[in-house]
Amino acid sequence: NAGVMQNPRHLVRRRGQEARLRCSPMKGHSHVYWYRQLPEEGLKFMVYLQKENIIDESGMPKERFSAEFPKEGPSILRIQQVVRGDSAAYFCASSSEKQGYTNEKLFFGSGTQLSVL
């Protein structure tokens, strides 16, 4: 039973390019979360999605960042016109649904390390 799969593991982009980060949740999980982690800041919530819906994007910058979780295929976090400050580890997590509520337990992928030159 595969866990949360993220790719690529490492992504190098030059300033101004686009970065696309992919996440396939655990089988049976319909809730996906994206987090950003910097060594001195800890994990920061970015966006929460269910299939075809963005539920909460309050942690995501309004410009240049977007996320989707289509009916078929992985969730995508897209960063347009990357800047050096976007360099970080981006983690995807998924959870199942329990009795109509989100199961609090999160399963994380191994992350994508984005480096902007």
Partner 1 sequence: SQKIEQNSEALNIQEGKTATLTCNYTNYSPAYLQWYRQDPGRGPVFLLLIRENEKEKRKERLKVTFDTTLKQSLFHITASQPADSATYLCALGGNAGNNRKLIWGLGTSLAVNP
**In the chain, what is the greatest distance between 2 CA atoms, to the nearest angstrom?**
46
Is position 106 an interface residue for partner 1 (rule: CB under 8 A)?
Answer: yes
Which residues in the 63-92 window bind partner 1 by CB under 8 A?
91
Selected range binding partner 1 among 13-21, 48-56, 70-78, 79-87, rule: CB under 8 A? 48-56
* CB nearer to partner 1: pick between 17 and 30: 30
Q: For partner 1, which residue of 2, 41, 62, 84 counts as binding (CB under 8 A)? A: 41
Q: Which of 90, 86, 97 is nearest to 63 (CA)?
A: 86
CA distance 94 to 29: 6
Q: For partner 1, which residue of 43, 80, 81, 117 counts as binding (CB under 8 A)? A: 43
| Token output for 29 | 């999980």
3-state SS of the chain: helix, strand, coil percent to 5? Answer: 5, 55, 45
Q: For partner 1, which residue of 42, 62, 71, 85 counts as binding (CB under 8 A)? A: 42
Q: For partner 1, which residue of 2, 28, 40, 72 counts as binding (CB under 8 A)? A: 40
* Residue 53 CB-half CA count within 13 A: 5
The H helix count followed by the E strand count for the chain is 0, 13
- Would you tell me which residues interact with partner 1 (CB under 8 A)? 4, 6, 33, 40-45, 48, 55-56, 91, 93, 95, 98, 100-111, 113
